[in-house]
C-alpha cells in the first residue's frame, strides 16, 4: 500500500481513538504552543494530543542496472501522540505530567535498479516523559480573573526508546514494512534529564466577546550533549491571540526557538505561525483543529537526517526538528471539582419611566430623586429621557426637576418584584423677558448693513436687521449674553449685554469695514507742532471707546497736512502728529501692537488747498482699518 495513503489512514485512526486531549501540548492550560497564566482552580485535564507532517524528498541511489547515480522521490512522514494529565490545586498552582508515542515512516517508490525500491520503513515507540509545575500570582491578578503572570518549570525524564539498527520485516493493517526501534530520522529520546523554565503572561478582556492574549518566553538546559558544545541551551518564545464566540474559539499563535550552538538549524532563530479553531463544549469536551507553518526559510532547505549508531547529538536537527508544516488534532476533557455557585437572582423591584416636554412631547434630560427614601440617590437621565431605579417595596415619592421647567412629584406604592412605569411631562416656567434693540450701520458711511447677529453658546438662531430700517429687535430671557455681529469684509463686532426682565436695552452697532477709513473731526494741534490741544480729548476718547468696543481690530493712524510749507516739513509734521495720537491711545490702555502710525504730509488732500476752508479739511487725522 502507498505510504501517503497509509499515513492519512493512520491520522484518521489516531483521531478516532483520541478520546481525550490536552488544552496545550504540555497537558497544561493554554493553547497548542503557549501556556496560560490564568489558572482555573481545582480543574483536572486528561488527554491526548496528536500532530504530524510529511514531505517528498529527492534521494540519490546507485542503479544496479547501469551503475550510475539516479534520483527518486521518497516520502518521509512522522506523527506524535502526546498523553498525560494536569491538575490545578489552586488558582496559582498547577502540576502536569505527560509522555508521548512516536512513529517515523519512509516510503520508497518504484525505481528500476534501486535495491530497496517500493519498500516501506517504519519505527515506532515511546518518547521521553516531562513533569511540569506552574506557579502564578493567583491572589493578586488572578483574583480579577482576566490577567496574571507566572512561571512554568519542567523536568524531562529519559523514558523513550533508544535507536538501534536491528531490523525485521513485519506488517500492520495489511501494510508490509521494515521496522527498527528508536526512530528513523527522529530521536525518540534525548537520553538525558533535561530541565527548563518559562515566563508566562496572560490577559483576557471583560467584553461581551472576550479577547485572550498569552505571552511565553522559555529556557531549556540539555544535559547529555558532547563536551565540544560549550553552551548546551535553547531559548524559545510563543504568543497566542484568540477570540471567544461562545463555544467557537479561533486562535493564532507565533512561536520559535534558538539553539545556542550551530549544530541545530545553524544556530538561527526560527519562527513559526499557527492557525486553528477550538470548539469548547458545555460538557467539558474541547476539540482543537489547526496547522503550523514555518516562516523561517533555509537555503538550501532542511532535509531529514537519518539516525546512526554513532550519533552523539540526540536532538532532531534536520527537517524532522523544524518541518515546514504540521497538522494537529485534539479532544480535551476537563472536570472542575470546584463548581462555581450561581446565585439565583430574585426578581427586581423596579421603577421606570420617561420624561418628556409637556408641550412638544420631546424627551428631556432631567434629575430624578426619591425624597424621604434616599437623600443621596440622584439619577440624571440622558437625551432619551428614560430612567430606571431599583428600590425596596413600599410607599415611594418620585421627584423630577430640570432647569427652566416646573418640577413634578408623584407618589406610588410598589410591591416586591413589581415593575411600575411612572412617566412625567414637564411644563416650562413662564419667565418675564427683556428686549434688546438698535440699528446696525457702517461706521464710515453711516449706511445700514445686513450683518448676521447671533448669541454664541446659546440655541438662539442667527438673525439680521430689518433690510429697510437697519433696526433689529429680539426678546430674551433675563441673563447675561454675548452679542456678535458678522459680515464679510467687516471686523467682527462682539459685545457682552445684560438683559433684565421687562426692560429694553438699546444697543446701536457701528461696524468697521476692513480697509475702510474713519476721519476724526475735531482733533487740533498747536500750529506747526504735534502737541494735541485739550479740546481734542473728547474726540480721542471716542476713538478709545471705538477700539475697546472692537478689541481685535488693528488700525493705522494716518496724519495729513495742507500744502503750506515744504513737502519734507509737512511729511515730518504729519508723522509726528500721527505718533502723538497713537501715544494718546496707548496711554488710555490700547495695546500698542494694534496701532501703527504713518504720516502722508500734503500728498492726499480731500479739498482744495487754495482756500482756507479746503486747507482746514486737509489738516486731519484718519483711522485706516487694517483688519483683525
Asked if the model's pLDDT at residue 592 lies above 90, the reply is yes
- Reduced DSSP (H G I as helix, E B as strand, rest coil) percent helix, strand, coil of the chain, to 5: 10, 45, 45
Residue 317's nearest CA partner among 255, 256, 267 is 267
Residues 6+ apart with CB under 8 A from 386: 352, 353, 354, 363
Q: In the block, which residue shows the cell 531549556?
A: 220
Per-residue pLDDT tens over the stretch 536-590: 898 888 889 888 888 888 989 999 998 888 889 989 998 999 999 999 999 999 9
pLDDT winner (highest mean) among 8-22, 289-303, 330-344: 289-303
User: For residue 174, what pLDDT is reported?
Assistant: 63
Write out pLDDT tens, residues 218-259: 999 999 888 889 899 999 999 999 999 999 999 999 999 999
Longest dimension (CA), the chain: 137
Cell of 534: 485739550
User: What does the pLDDT look like over 3-27, one tens digit per residue?
Assistant: 444 544 444 344 333 333 334 555 6
User: What would the pLDDT profile of 163-180 be if each residue is shown by its tens digit?
Assistant: 988 888 877 666 778 898
- Please determine, for residue 328, whether its predicted confidence score (pLDDT) is greater than 50: yes
The mean per-residue pLDDT over the stretch 42-58 comes to 90
- Output the pLDDT for position 24: 58
Contact (CB, 8 A) for 424 and 400: yes
Where do the DSSP E strands lie in 337-393?
350-357, 367-370, 374-380, 386-390
pLDDT bin (cut points 50, 70, 90) of residue 276 is very high
Residues 6+ apart with CB under 8 A from 86: 22, 23, 26, 27, 28, 29, 44, 45, 94, 95, 96, 97, 98, 132
Instruction: Check residue 429 and give its pLDDT.
Output: 84
Quote the pLDDT of residue 142.
44
Burial label for 119, CB within 10 Å (0-12, 13-18, 19+), is middle
Contact 35, 28 (CB under 8 A): yes
Is the confidence at residue 73, as pLDDT, over 90?
yes
pLDDT of residue 3: 47
Instruction: Assess whether the previous peptide bond of 300 is cis (omega < 30° from 0).
Output: yes
| pLDDT over 70 at 345, yes or no | no
Cα torsion for 510, 515, 521, 522, to the nearest 10°? Answer: 100
Whether the predicted pLDDT of 162 surpasses 50: yes
Crossing angle (nearest 10°) for helices 567-587 and 537-549: 60
* H or E segment and range at residue 321: none
All domains in the chain, ordered by first residue = 3-336 (2.40.160.40), 350-426 (2.60.40.1120), 434-511 (2.60.40.1120), 517-627 (3.30.1330.60)
- For position 127, what pLDDT does the model report? 93
- Among 105-109, 141-145, 340-344, 513-517, which range has the highest average pLDDT? 105-109
Q: pLDDT tens digit string along 354-365?
A: 999 999 999 999
Predicted model pTM = 0.54
Position 19 scores a pLDDT of 31
pLDDT at residue 417, rounded to an integer:
87
* Short-list 238, 328, 265, CA closest to 292: 328
CA distances from 542 to 537, 538, 557 (A): 9, 6, 15
In which band, very low, low, confident or very high, does the pLDDT at 343 lie, cut at 50, 70 and 90? low
What is the distance between the alpha carbons of residues 53 and 72, in angstroms, rounded to a whole number? 20
Percentage with pLDDT > 90 across the chain: 47
Q: Do strands 43-62 and 69-88 pair parallel, antiparallel, or not at all (unpaired)?
A: antiparallel
Which pLDDT tens digit goes with each residue over 449-458?
A: 999 999 988 8
The three grid cell numbers given for residue 239, joined into one nine-digit string: 504568543
Return the SS3 of 577. Answer: helix
Give dist(CA 107, CA 120) in Å, integer.
Answer: 5
Mean pLDDT of 382-402: 91
Q: How far apart are CA 507 and CA 484, in angstroms?
A: 12
The percentage of the chain sitting over the pLDDT mark of 70, rounded to a whole number, equals 93
- Identify the helix (H) or strand (E) that includes residue 12: helix 3-17
Q: Is the pLDDT of residue 389 over 50?
A: yes
pLDDT in tens, 410-425: 999 999 889 999 999 9
Q: Which residues pair with 505 in a beta bridge?
A: 436
The per-residue pLDDT of the chain, averaged, comes to 87
Contact 111, 127 (CB under 8 A): no
158: cell is 529519559
* 79-82 CB contacts, 8 Å cutoff, 24+ apart: 79/7, 79/10, 79/11, 79/14, 79/50, 79/51, 79/52, 79/103, 80/50, 80/51, 80/52, 80/127, 81/14, 81/18, 81/48, 81/49, 81/50, 82/22, 82/25, 82/27, 82/48, 82/49, 82/50
Given this model, what pLDDT does residue 580 score? 92
Q: CA–CA separation, 98 vs 442, rounded Å?
A: 93
Amino acid at each position: 500500500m502507498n505510504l501517503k495513503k497509509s499515513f492519512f489512514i493512520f491520522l484518521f485512526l489516531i483521531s478516532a481513538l483520541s478520546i481525550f486531549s490536552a488544552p496545550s501540548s504540555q497537558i497544561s492550560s493554554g493553547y497548542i504552543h503557549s501556556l496560560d497564566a490564568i489558572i482555573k482552580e481545582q480543574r483536572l485535564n486528561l488527554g491526548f494530543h496528536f500532530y504530524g507532517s510529511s514531505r517528498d524528498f529527492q534521494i540519490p541511489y546507485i542503479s544496479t542496472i547501469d551503475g550510475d547515480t539516479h534520483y527518486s522521490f521518497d516520502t518521509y512522514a512522522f506523527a506524535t501522540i502526546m498523553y498525560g494529565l494536569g491538575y490545578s490545586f489552586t488558582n496559582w498552582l498547577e502540576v502536569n505530567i505527560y509522555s508521548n508515542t512516536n512513529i517515523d515512516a519512509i516510503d520508497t517508490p518504484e525505481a528500476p535498479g534501486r535495491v530497496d525500491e517500493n519498500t516501506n520503513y517504519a519505527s515506532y515507540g515511546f518518547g521521553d516523559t516531562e513533569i511540569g509545575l506552574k506557579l502564578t500570582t493567583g491572589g493578586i491578578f488572578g483574583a480579577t480573573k482576566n490577567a496574571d503572570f507566572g512561571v512554568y518549570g519542567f523536568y524531562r525524564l529519559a523514558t523513550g526508546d533508544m535507536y538501534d539498527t536491528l531490523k525485521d520485516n513485519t506488517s500492520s493493517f495489511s501494510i508490509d514494512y521494515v521496522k527498527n526501534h528508536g526512530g528513523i530520522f527522529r530521536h525518540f529520546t534525548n537520553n538525558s534529564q533535561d530541565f527548563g523554565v518559562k515566563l508566562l503572561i496572560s490577559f483576557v478582556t471583560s467584553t461581551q466577546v472576550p479577547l485572550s492574549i498569552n505571552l511565553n518566553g522559555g529556557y531549556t538546559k540539555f544535559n547529555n550533549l558532547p563536551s565540544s558544545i560549550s553552551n548546551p541551551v535553547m531559548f524559545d518564545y510563543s504568543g497566542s491571540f484568540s477570540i471567544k464566540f461562545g463555544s467557537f474559539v479561533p486562535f493564532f499563535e507565533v512561536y520559535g526557538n534558538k539553539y545556542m550552538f550551530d549544530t541545530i538549524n545553524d544556530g538561527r532563530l526560527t519562527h513559526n505561525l499557527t492557525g486553528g479553531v477550538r470548539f469548547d463544549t458545555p460538557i467539558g469536551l474541547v476539540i482543537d483543529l489547526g496547522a503550523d507553518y514555518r516562516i523561517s526559510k533555509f537555503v538550501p532547505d532542511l532535509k531529514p537526517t537519518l539516525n546512526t549508531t554513532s550519533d552523539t547529538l540526540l536532538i532532531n536537527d534536520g527537517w524532522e526538528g523544524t518541518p515546514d508544516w504540521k497538522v494537529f488534532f485534539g479532544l480535551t476533557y476537563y472536570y472542575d471539582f470546584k463548581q462555581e455557585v450561581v446565585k439565583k437572582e430574585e426578581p427586581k423591584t423596579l421603577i421606570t419611566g420617561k420624561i418628556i416636554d409637556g408641550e412638544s412631547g420631546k424627551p428631556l434630560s432631567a434629575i430624578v430623586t426619591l425624597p424621604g427614601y434616599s437623600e443621596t440617590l440622584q439619577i440624571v437621565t440622558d437625551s432619551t429621557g428614560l430612567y430606571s431605579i431599583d428600590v425596596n417595596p413600599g410607599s415611594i415619592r418620585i421627584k423630577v426637576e430640570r432647569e427652566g421647567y416646573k418640577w413634578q412629584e408623584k407618589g406610588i406604592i410598589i410591591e416586591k418584584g413589581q415593575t411600575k412605569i411612572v412617566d412625567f411631562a414637564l411644563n416650562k416656567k413662564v419667565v418675564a423677558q427683556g428686549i434688546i434693540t438698535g440699528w446696525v450701520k457702517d461706521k464710515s458711511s453711516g449706511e445700514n448693513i445686513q450683518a448676521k447677529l447671533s448669541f454664541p453658546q446659546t440655541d438662539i438662531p442667527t438673525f439680521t436687521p430689518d433690510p429697510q430700517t437697519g433696526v433689529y429687535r429680539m426678546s430674551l430671557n433675563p441673563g447675561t449674553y454675548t452679542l456678535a455681529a458678522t459680515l464679510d469684509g467687516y471686523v467682527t463686532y462682539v459685545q457682552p449685554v445684560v438683559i433684565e426682565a421687562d426692560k429694553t436695552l438699546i444697543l446701536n452697532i457701528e461696524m468697521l469695514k476692513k480697509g475702510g477709513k474713519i476721519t476724526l473731526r475735531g482733533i487740533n494741534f498747536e500750529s506747526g507742532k504735534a502737541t494735541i490741544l485739550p479740546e481734542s480729548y473728547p474726540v480721542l476718547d471716542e476713538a478709545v471707546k471705538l477700539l475697546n468696543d472692537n478689541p481685535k481690530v488693528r488700525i493705522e493712524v494716518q496724519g495729513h497736512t495742507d500744502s503750506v510749507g515744504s513737502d519734507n516739513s509737512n511729511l515730518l509734521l504729519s508723522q509726528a502728529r500721527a505718533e502723538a495720537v497713537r501715544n494718546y491711545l496707548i496711554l488710555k490702555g490700547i495695546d500698542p501692537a494694534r496701532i501703527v502710525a504713518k504720516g502722508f504730509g500734503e500728498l492726499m488732500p480731500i479739498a482744495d488747498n487754495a482756500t482756507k476752508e479746503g486747507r482746514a479739511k486737509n489738516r486731519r487725522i484718519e483711522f485706516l482699518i487694517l483688519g483683525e
